[in-house]
Structures are given as structure tokens and as C-alpha cells.
Amino acid sequence: MNIAEIKKKYKDEWVLVEVLEEDELNRPMNVRLIAHSKNRDDIYDKLVDVEDGKHVATFYSGEIPEKNYVVAFLWE
């Protein structure tokens, strides 16, 4: 599955995927869905179950906030 298909199928959700193939700029090209949820914390909880050594990515499949919005990421 590619990222465009994931974004279309799971619109406005948080997604956790295993990266199977990247392009020359290290962007995921071919991925395997591990989990999806409207709640970001559900995805972070699933990260604990990912097998060591797997190359994974998480992202939000919805629209990026428009100008004048602030987005913060917290890594614990």
C-alpha cells in the first residue's frame, strides 16, 4: 500500500505503518498498515507492541492546520 492510499482510506486519522520501501529522499513509498485511530494516543500505545528493528512511521492523514495555528509535538 502507498501513503496516498492510506491517507484516502483513513482520512483524518492517526496512522502507524511499517515502512517497506523508501524513495531516494527516504520518504516512505510502500508501507504496511499496523494501526489507525482518530485518537493519537492509541497509535502511541501500539508503538510499544512493534517488534524491535522494524522501520515504522506515524502520521496524521488529515489536513495540516492553516496559517496562525501552532502545532506542538511532545516526545516522552
Residue 64's pLDDT band, with cuts at 50, 70 and 90, is: confident
Name the nearest CA neighbour of 31 among 51, 12, 59: 59
Q: Give the phi and the psi of residue 42 in degrees, each rounded to 5.
A: -60, -40
**Domain map (residue ranges) of the chain:** 3-60
Give residue-wise pLDDT tens across range 31-59: 999 999 999 999 999 999 999 889 999 99
> Does residue 54 contact residue 46 with C-beta atoms inside 8 Å?
no
Produce one character per residue of 36-50: b if its CB has 16 or more CB atoms within 10 Å, e if not.
bbeeeeebbebeeee
